């Protein structure tokens, strides 16, 4: 059953999710002005799936049930599926200019599905069946799941078992006949509060000494002992201002990250997908990270499309669109953005089937994709700020532009003064000029910068994590041999 966006939002109200923000427990978090844009944004993954014009990208036929499901709950069955995933993410980036959050679950499904198959083959465990049954439940109910990987990690120089406080990594604190009890946290979890479920994976490759940290499981967002603390964003309290609109830049949509706390959460046996098989932690991490690095070749490109459009509009509204340097900057932004898309499509096209049957992306190309994402959006934003001009950060507030307060000698209001002096080209109203500049402020420096800039740096792993993978996958020895062959070195 595919939910509509509204049905998804209503389904969140049925959960007893425990949320904290600004030192308080937030009971009606679904309607909270700071949180709601991230819920609206995720709701678009439901809304577009209901729109026939996007059915090919947004939905797929489940290989588990034969039913039509949202692509966010799909196990990729071909390289074509992998490419459609990237195209779907670009589409959603274009429609929201934000992080729409649901991809972490999709990437976790695909990583856990193939890894559990291989664990069962080697260890005789039952994880793959557990996970397959769970995924059917997710698909049938069209659920959103937070794919949770990043632990707090404490002292980065120490392994999990060497930490003074082991809780800085999620770990098993008790093994019972009917399940396990887990404790610890996952940090900066995208879309975690507005997910129905959490699918937890280890954060890194682990050795036998750290086997209590080699744990993967799922649980509902309102499981006893689970609670979340909302991560604040730059300019977030603007959303609390009365009648806030223009000053928000992106009034409707936003991203969301939270601290997810597992305070002795019980997980029944059927929801366990890894429990002590330390040698498989690294495989699970590498696959999830690979998929999520592919994802950035879609979502960030879609947001980039909106940034480029906004910069071009700012140039129009400033009356500067005919300047050759402005045209050239827009070309450069497009070149950078499409290069990211090329990477997303390339690692998908070079995908291959896993032993479990779902498709994995090309790891080297996915890591190159994400490495580029740690750089190009920064340059795109730099060029957007260059084109927009300083007004995007010095303009008076929306309240001033709308004020009736008389302040001029001839009875002009504060609003009259602002609207008179911030006029741009005749093609736009002063308000439209404000709107596009505030949008650029929001995406370059405000709350949406979390999703477009810093998430481009650290989401799906910080740059160094990709460099390690590029070193591992780059095969320098075979390249040396190529040079030897041609240079005549024996």
Catalogue the active-site residues: 99, 103, 190, 257, 292, 296, 299, 455
CB 67 → ligand SF4: shortest distance, Å? 24
Contact call for residue 103 and ligand SF4 (CB under 6 A): yes
C-beta closer to ligand SF4: residue 303 or 310: 303
C-beta closer to Fe ion: residue 202 or 298: 298
CB 295 → Fe ion: shortest distance, Å? 7
**For residues 208 and 206, what is the distance between their CA atoms, to the nearest angstrom?**
7
Site string (278-317) toward ligand SF4, x via CB under 6 A: -----------------xx--x------------------
Residues 107 and 370: beta-carbon distance below 8 Å:
no
CB 460 → Fe ion: shortest distance, Å? 6
CB 190 → Fe ion: shortest distance, Å? 5
In the three-class reduction of DSSP (H, G, I as helix; E, B as strand; rest coil), residue 79 is classed as: helix
Q: Give the total of residues touching ligand SF4 (CB under 6 A).
A: 12
C-beta closer to Fe ion: residue 136 or 153: 153
> The tokens of 147 are what?
């794919």
CB 342 → ligand SF4: shortest distance, Å? 17
Nearest to 355 by CA among 292, 290, 276, 287: 287
Q: Which residues contact 200 (CB under 8 A, 6 or more apart)?
A: 148, 149, 170, 182, 186, 215, 216, 217, 218, 219, 262
Sign of CA dihedral 21, 27, 32, 35: positive
Q: Which residues contact 235 (CB under 8 A, 6 or more apart)?
A: 442, 445, 446, 447
Q: Which of 459, 461, 465, 469 binds Fe ion (CB under 5 A)?
A: 459
CB 100 → ligand SF4: shortest distance, Å? 5
DSSP calls for 333-385:
HHHHHHHHHHHHHHHHHT-EE-TTSSEE--HHHHHHHHHHHTTHHHHHHHHHH
Of residues 439 through 458, those in contact with ligand SF4 by CB under 6 A are: 455
Among Fe ion, ligand SF4, none, the one that 299 touches (CB under a kind-dependent 5 to 8 A) is: ligand SF4
C-beta closer to ligand SF4: residue 295 or 448: 295
**For residues 112 and 115, what is the distance between their CA atoms, to the nearest angstrom?**
5
Among Fe ion, ligand SF4, none, the one that 103 touches (CB under a kind-dependent 5 to 8 A) is: ligand SF4
**For residues 234 and 244, what is the distance between their CA atoms, to the nearest angstrom?**
16
Of residues 157 through 196, those in contact with Fe ion by CB under 5 A are: 190
In the three-class reduction of DSSP (H, G, I as helix; E, B as strand; rest coil), residue 451 is classed as: helix
Contact call for residue 99 and ligand SF4 (CB under 6 A): yes
Of residues 175 through 234, those in contact with ligand SF4 by CB under 6 A are: 190
| Helices 103-123, 127-141: crossing angle, 10 deg rounding | 160
Catalog residues that contact Fe ion under the rule CB under 5 A: 190, 459
Catalog residues that contact ligand SF4 under the rule CB under 6 A: 89, 99-101, 103-104, 190, 295-296, 299, 455, 459
């Amino acid at each position: 059953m595919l939910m509509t966006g509204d049905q998804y939002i209503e389904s969140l109200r049925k959960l007893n999710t425990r949320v904290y923000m600004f030192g308080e427990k937030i009971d009606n978090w679904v309607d909270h002005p700071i949180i709601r844009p991230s819920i609206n944004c995720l709701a678009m993954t439901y809304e577009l799936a209901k729109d026939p014009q996007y059915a090919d990208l947004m939905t797929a036929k489940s290989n588990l049930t034969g039913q039509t499901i949202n692509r966010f709950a799909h196990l990729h069955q071909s390289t074509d599926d992998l490419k459609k995933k990237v195209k779907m993410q670009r589409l959603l980036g274009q429609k929201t200019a934000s992080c729409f959050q649901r991809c972490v679950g999709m990437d976790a499904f695909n990583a856990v599905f193939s890894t559990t198959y291989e664990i069962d083959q080697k260890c005789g465990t039952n994880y793959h069946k557990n996970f397959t049954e769970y995924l059917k439940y997710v698909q049938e109910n069209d659920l959103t799941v937070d794919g949770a990987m990043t632990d707090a990690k404490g002292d980065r120089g120490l392994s999990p078992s060497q930490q003074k406080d082991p809780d800085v990594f999620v770990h098993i604190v008790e093994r019972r006949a009917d399940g396990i009890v887990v404790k610890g946290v996952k940090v900066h979890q995208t879309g975690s509060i507005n997910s129905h479920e959490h699918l937890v994976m280890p954060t890194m490759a682990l050795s036998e000494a750290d086997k209590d940290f080699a744990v993967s499981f799922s649980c509902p967002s309102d499981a006893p002992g689970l609670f979340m603390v909302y991560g604040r964003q730059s300019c977030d309290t603007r959303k609390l201002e009365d009648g806030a609109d223009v000053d928000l830049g992106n009034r409707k949509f936003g991203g969301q990250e939270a601290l997810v706390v597992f305070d002795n959460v019980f997980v029944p046996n059927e929801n366990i997908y890894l429990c002590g098989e330390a040698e498989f932690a690294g495989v699970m991490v590498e696959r999830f990270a690979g998929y999520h690095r592919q994802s950035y070749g879609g979502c960030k490109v879609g947001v980039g499309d909106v940034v480029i459009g906004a910069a071009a509009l700012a140039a129009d509204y400033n009356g500067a669109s005919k300047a050759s340097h402005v045209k050239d900057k827009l070309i450069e932004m497009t070149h950078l953005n499409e290069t990211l898309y090329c990477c997303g499509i390339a690692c998908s096209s070079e995908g291959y089937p896993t032993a479990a049957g779902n498709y994995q992306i090309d790891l080297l190309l996915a890591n190159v994709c994400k490495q580029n994402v740690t750089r190009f959006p920064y340059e795109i934003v730099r060029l957007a700020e260059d084109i927009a001009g300083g007004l995007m950060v010095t303009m008076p507030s929306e309240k001033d532009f709308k004020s009736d307060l008389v302040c001029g000698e001839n009875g002009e209001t504060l609003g009259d003064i602002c609207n008179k002096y911030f006029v741009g080209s005749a093609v736009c109203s002063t308000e439209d000029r404000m709107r596009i500049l505030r949008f650029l402020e929001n995406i370059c420096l405000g709350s949406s910068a979390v999703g477009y800039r810093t998430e481009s740096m650290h989401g799906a792993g910080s740059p160094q994590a990709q460099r390690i993978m590029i070193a591992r996958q780059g095969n320098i020895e075979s390249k040396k041999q190529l040079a030897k062959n041609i240079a005549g070195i024996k």
